[in-house]
A = this chain, B = another copy of it.
Amino acid sequence: MKEMTNKVMQFCDERGWRQFHNEKDLALSISLEASELLENFQWRSSEDAVAESRQNIKEEMADVLIYLLQLANKMEVDLEEEVYKKIEKNGVKYPVIR
């Protein structure tokens, strides 16, 4: 993830975009990109959407992650660590029934 984050931040810096990056608009952007991802499934079944729009779905997934990496970088959050912590927390909330 670090290498990916560096690449994303370098891209923003080359264009002088980092000055606009406040946390509220980054969170807003994640939500907008997630909607563009979801738009591929509007009025369609999963099967049809994946069959007809696989390329666009992949690109919108990348857009969500790109903004997520920017927000994590801005807030100095280690996303991987947060995912592992959240899985552990969810494990307590939803215990395995054997």
Contacts and interface: CB of A to CB of B under 8 A. Distances in A.
Interface string A1-38: 10010011001001100001011110111111111111
Contact of A27 (B24, B40, B80): B40
Interface residues of A, number: 64
- Oligomeric state, in number of copies? 4
A38 B46 contact: no
Chain A interface mostly: helix
Given A15-B96, A46-B24, A86 B57 contact: no
B4 A83 contact: yes
Given A58-B82, A61-B82, A65-B79, A30 B24 contact: no
B32 A27 contact: no
